[in-house]
Structure 1
Amino acid sequence: MIFDSLDVSYGHMWGSHQGTTHPEPLSRTVAERRHAAGMEYSVLLSVRERPMALVERWPRGKWRVYLFDDRSWRMQMIDLTPHHTGMLLVRWNTRWRFSDEREYASGKWEVQETTTVSADGQVEVKSEFAAGPRGASTEPSHARASGPSSDPVRRFATPVEDFLRPAPGFGDWQVFVPFLAQQGHEPATTVVLNDVSVGEGAGPLRATGIEQLFSTGTHDTPDGPAAVEPVDAGLLRITSGQLTVSDPGWVGDDPRTVAVPTGEHPVTLSLLRTTRGANVAAARVTFLDLPPREWEMALRPDEDLGLLSEGQFYGVGVDTGTVAFMDATRTVVEEQLDEGLFIPLDSHFSVELPGTEPEPNLIAFRAGQGDGSYPVWIGRTDGGQVGCVVVDFQLCPADAEE
């Protein structure tokens, strides 16, 4: 296939995704910001909606290139790592052969050939064949601890310059065009790059309908109509002026904190009751009895809203199905978690771990429908003060809340 232009679009990392389009597209602007911040993203090079190469930008200056053939099958993977010359070294080059479309769809290759190059130009080529029933993985050999049977390995030395490529700045995708010839795609003398990425969209997730989550009423949910029931969860004692919102089982893992007034402040849960039962839809700690004028996402110092695409957010990570409000100085004894929190939460929506006054306590509650990441919102008053902090477990679709 001869081509003289390539369409360029951006997205989040595909990982093991086997499709031919971005599952999570990004605008060029957001992708460029992620590049400048050293973050991951992907670049799709295509011709008339046919994928030619997927380029993934990895942390620490690494790149990965997937190449597609004329059938839009992903047939090759090339890993490039930083070299002491300032260029990129084609460190691994893995090719696959599949017996038919069914085997390709299931990721079961018939032959895998991997070329490994050292920093001084020592080359190793290994061809592997599926042993017994074809069930080999498309994971490259350097990423697996063991695999199928293999032919004798060929080793030889060659000038390392043959495997060096310039390290691209953002938009320098011509660097990867020569790789396309390895799948039979022939570039013209001049190849034009056309930006076909998505627009900016509406930007990061916005706080919508938060107040309604704490007002008695009904909402439409994926499980049908649901009744909202605000429930008192007790008083949270803040002594340091810093509120922490965290999974209580992972408090030390860079918790999310907000500067708030000291004192005792009421915690309210929003229960969402459907025919299938009740879940905690949101939790709020109130510091001022004034309606919020605006909502802002609670961010850590190293988080930048400009790096988020449409509908994305930075949030509290949950790995134990539980979130807690607590003072930043409050410590959690791991041995107390099962008896003090997790077992009681099997039969209660919230639990308090008291502290001996005037020490701070901790109020934990179930995290919606389980583990994941959830946005934390700061409600500010007309004077810019923190009126409340809310964790939204996103049980109500945003369009149903507006």
Structure 2
Amino acid sequence: MVVFDGLDVSYGDMWGPHRGTTHPTPLSRAVAARRHAAGTAYAVLLSSRERPLALIEKWPRGKWRVYLFDDRSWRMQMIDFKPHPTGMLLAHRSTRWRFSTDRAHASGKWDTQETTTVSADGQIEVQYRTAASGGTATQPSPAMASGRPDARPEPVPVRPSPASVEDFLCSAPEFGDWQVFVPFLAQQGHRSATTVVLTDVSVGEGSGPLRAAGIEQLFSPGTRDTRDGTVAVEPVDAGSLRIPSGRLAVSDPGWISEPRTVAVPPGEYPVTLSLSRTPHRAEVAAARVTFLDAPPRAWEMALRPREDLGLLAEGEFYGVGVDTGTVAFMDATRTVTEEELDEKVFLPLDEAFTVELPGTEPEPNLIAFRAGRGDGSYPVWIGRTDDGQIGCVVVDFLLHPSDDAQ
């Protein structure tokens, strides 16, 4: 049990499988507030004397999730909230776990799980599960009620029981109104003073989203010092890309339903790869489509219509997602069959850095290339000339970022 009269408040990205006690990716309060206003996800941590007590996650469509920690700083309970017709939040599902060892907790392997579900009209159903037997029960058995970790519930029919729905309602919080969730900490045995003071201990906003830095150096032959040591930079011609529609698409060729697109003049343009070579290996560090000979004077991140740089934390970016270890430049109207991908893209890339999937002229072709060191997300930069025209588009695989682009 933790007794507290104040809570430290910090912000971060959603935690996912992370089972630590602090944010794996911290956010400033300002970025979290902008995400709240935009209806996008973020997380809030309430701590007392560096001990986490509650992790609050803001989900889309007015939903919230709260994880509660016990006095060992273990996440032992998860409460899901959704909007209720009254305008408040309904704690419609609460899940508690028991873990036998520290190792079991660290890996998320619970021994027993108890889930309480509440309907909008106040009907309650309780379900118990055990990892060892795989069994479930929808009403508490005497053994489980006793708290014995070796209890094995017998399945019984679902019999929802009535309750007062008001007992499961709370206010939908405005940003910063985390006092709403403080009463739920008592469910893990923690006790609060009559007045609880919230103190913001979040990180500063820092330098903002990832900035394009050193992009030109990626395509300048010679040696370069990187965090992996000295590498030789070798620009390589990857062919010409036909873009008859005037919309360049950058995508994993295996997932082209939502490519990152850039409006460019229709035409045929050279594609260049930047190879990063060491005595032991060579990798694709970046890829570029060049539209004008004039050097870029300014760089901007290629964004989709609803993406907002103000929602990004320090060093974050919107980029092209990669799940096949491959990225492609193509016209936005180009389609690819699964057979073409397997035989004419993925297999040839086992032996080469880049491959062209032809199209009968003047139809668009496709130029695919290896994605750095594999799957992940990578920024796409638009280089503009002095008069604001698009001079090039670059995918940076972040193999050796500069000091300004960590």
TM-score (normalizing by structure 2) = 0.90
Report what 1:235 is aligned to.
Answer: 240
Residues 20-41 of structure 1: CA deviation (Å, up to 9, x unaligned): 1000011111111111222111
Report what 2:153 is aligned to.
Answer: 150
Report what 1:282 is aligned to.
Answer: 286
What is the aligned-residue RMSD (CA, Å)?
Answer: 2.1
Report what 2:202 is aligned to.
Answer: 197
2:179 pairs with 1:174:
yes
> Which of 390, 396, 403 pairs up with 1:392?
396
**Residues 16, 230 of structure 1: alpha-carbon distance in 2 compared, 3 angstrom cutoff:** same
SS of the residue corresponding to residue 380 of structure 2 reads: strand
**Residues 360, 113 of structure 1: alpha-carbon distance in 2 compared, 3 angstrom cutoff:** closer
Shift of 1:395: 0.8
Report what 1:49 is aligned to.
Answer: 50
Report what 1:142 is aligned to.
Answer: none
Shift of 1:321: 1.6
**Residues 151, 35 of structure 1: alpha-carbon distance in 2 compared, 3 angstrom cutoff:** farther
Q: More displaced, 227-236 or 105-114?
A: 105-114
Write the distance in 1 (CA, Å) between the matches of 2:255 and 2:112: 44
Shift of 1:223: 4.0
Residues 327-380 of structure 1: CA deviation (Å, up to 9, x unaligned): 222232333222222222221211122222222222111111112111100000
Write the distance in 2 (CA, Å) between the matches of 1:238 and 1:106: 48
Residues 52-85 of structure 1: CA deviation (Å, up to 9, x unaligned): 1111112222111111122222222111122222
Query: Which stretches in structure 2 are left out of the alignment for 5+ residues?
Result: 136-150
**Residues 62, 149 of structure 1: alpha-carbon distance in 2 compared, 3 angstrom cutoff:** farther
Report what 2:299 is aligned to.
Answer: 295
**Residues 14, 352 of structure 1: alpha-carbon distance in 2 compared, 3 angstrom cutoff:** same
**Residues 333, 69 of structure 1: alpha-carbon distance in 2 compared, 3 angstrom cutoff:** closer
Write the distance in 2 (CA, Å) between the matches of 1:195 and 1:401: 28
Write the distance in 2 (CA, Å) between the matches of 1:331 and 1:272: 30
**Residues 127, 334 of structure 1: alpha-carbon distance in 2 compared, 3 angstrom cutoff:** closer
Residues 169-210 of structure 1: CA deviation (Å, up to 9, x unaligned): 211111001011122222222211111111101111111110
Q: More displaced, 148-157 or 301-310?
A: 148-157
Identity of aligned residues (%): 76
- Contact 1:75/1:95, CA 8 A, preserved across alignment: yes
Shift of 1:99: 4.0
Q: More displaced, 106-115 or 10-19?
A: 106-115
> Which of 212, 215, 224 pairs up with 1:219?
224
> Which of 247, 254, 260 pairs up with 2:258?
254
**Residues 62, 150 of structure 1: alpha-carbon distance in 2 compared, 3 angstrom cutoff:** farther
SS of the residue corresponding to residue 340 of structure 2 reads: helix
Query: Which stretches in structure 1 are left out of the alignment for 5+ residues?
Result: 137-147
Residues 109-150 of structure 1: CA deviation (Å, up to 9, x unaligned): 444332221111111233444536xx99xxxxxxxxxxx942
Write the distance in 2 (CA, Å) between the matches of 1:286 and 1:206: 20
**Residues 299, 401 of structure 1: alpha-carbon distance in 2 compared, 3 angstrom cutoff:** closer
SS of the residue corresponding to residue 105 of structure 1 reads: helix
Letter of the 1:74 counterpart: R
2:250 pairs with 1:245:
yes
**Residues 127, 321 of structure 1: alpha-carbon distance in 2 compared, 3 angstrom cutoff:** closer
Write the distance in 1 (CA, Å) between the matches of 2:128 and 2:305: 48
Report what 2:271 is aligned to.
Answer: 267
**Residues 85, 400 of structure 1: alpha-carbon distance in 2 compared, 3 angstrom cutoff:** closer
Report what 2:144 is aligned to.
Answer: none
Report what 1:90 is aligned to.
Answer: 91
What does 1:311-390 align with in structure 2 at a 5 Å threshold? 311-390=315-394
Aligned length: 388
Write the distance in 1 (CA, Å) between the matches of 2:106 and 2:334: 51
Report what 1:9 is aligned to.
Answer: 10
Write the distance in 2 (CA, Å) between the matches of 1:128 and 1:329: 50
Write the distance in 1 (CA, Å) between the matches of 2:104 and 2:360: 63
What does 1:104-115 align with in structure 2 at a 5 Å threshold? 104-115=105-116
SS of the residue corresponding to residue 399 of structure 1 reads: coil
Report what 2:142 is aligned to.
Answer: none
Q: More displaced, 79-88 or 217-226?
A: 217-226
SS of the residue corresponding to residue 390 of structure 1 reads: strand
Report what 1:209 is aligned to.
Answer: 214
Q: More displaced, 377-386 or 254-263?
A: 254-263
Write the distance in 1 (CA, Å) between the matches of 2:154 and 2:122: 22
Residues 78-108 of structure 1: CA deviation (Å, up to 9, x unaligned): 1112222221111122223334444433434
TM-score (normalizing by structure 1) = 0.91
Write the distance in 1 (CA, Å) between the matches of 2:230 and 2:392: 27
Shift of 1:47: 1.2
**Residues 400, 169 of structure 1: alpha-carbon distance in 2 compared, 3 angstrom cutoff:** closer
Write the distance in 1 (CA, Å) between the matches of 2:117 and 2:89: 14
- Contact 1:219/1:400, CA 8 A, preserved across alignment: no
Letter of the 2:262 counterpart: V
Write the distance in 2 (CA, Å) between the matches of 1:150 and 1:291: 71
Report what 1:160 is aligned to.
Answer: 165
**Residues 174, 366 of structure 1: alpha-carbon distance in 2 compared, 3 angstrom cutoff:** same
- Contact 2:213/2:404, CA 8 A, preserved across alignment: no
